[in-house]
Amino acid sequence: MWEVKVAISGPYNFDLALSRLALDPLHVVDIEKRSVKVPLVLDDKKVVAEVIGTGTLENPEFLIRANLEKEKTIQRLTEIFQWDVELIHIHEHFQTTQLKDLFIEHYGTPLVLEFDPFSSLIKSIIHQQLNLKFAFTLTDRFVKTFGEEMDGVWFYPSPEKVASLTVERLRELQFSGRKAEYVIGIAELAASGKLDFKKLKSQSDAEIAQELIKIRGVGPWTVQNFLMFALGRPNMFPMGDIGIQNALKKFFNLEQKPTPAEMEVYKEPWNPYLSYASLYLWRSIE
């Protein structure tokens, strides 16, 4: 077991990040201890890393503990928790916009990524067109049936494992037939290397969108979700997302949800940090 301290520049609200992670029952979050256990797959090795917040909002510090792969673990956790993003610049950008008060209220909230790109895409597919409670239940069932537990933390099943499943097997868990086909199809592409997540990382938003949209079951919402929460792209605004529409309606005291044309006007001043506008709008109604 190794442990190391990491200090970053503030603001960084780890407690708000933890409260959002805690919405997913698969995440091992301890709010009082200010910790989360993160399942990582690094060069085919499974690593459980514990991240404990030991600092403050303005002087964030973290204690990291794990068994293996020290440098790669720190590097991946830095990506997941976006420790290299200077949130103060983003906060200052929004102080000249209509979202000023929202950014004051949720000051220092980071965009925390899903722990793994493949599981991020699979989770998006499972969550499509379901209410959040059942979406989490179905994901939990899927992971605990086919995934692997280590040190009290669940790892999503590998692409190879999911590719070997049948539609009937997923139907037993209450997947729709179509959703089961989508999940297995994506796993087959990932297992064969046709869907290469390392390669995607180095591509532009438009290139990634072009590649993913060809996949059965992947629509614009899923692409934007993946770009934001799997790859941490900072300028995503999924206008078709009902949560964002409801948040805008509430924030601007509108009588009905905004039209796409109205949303285009609203979002213009929020460039190039639309992902943070999306996140803070979601937070405002969670």
Residue 241 is among the residues annotated as catalytic for this protein:
yes
In terms of Cα–Cα distance, which of 84, 86, 79, 6 is closest to 38?
A: 79
Secondary structure E strands in 28-84: 28-30, 35-42, 45-53, 61-66
- Residue 106: half-sphere exposure toward Cβ, Cα within 13 Å: 24
In terms of Cα–Cα distance, which of 73, 46, 51, 71 is closest to 62?
A: 51
With contact defined as beta carbons under 8 Å apart, do 32 and 18 qualify?
A: no
Which parts of 193-238 fold into alpha helices (H)? 197-201, 205-212, 220-229
Q: How many helices (H) and strands (E) does the chain have?
A: 15, 7
Residues annotated as part of the active site: 241
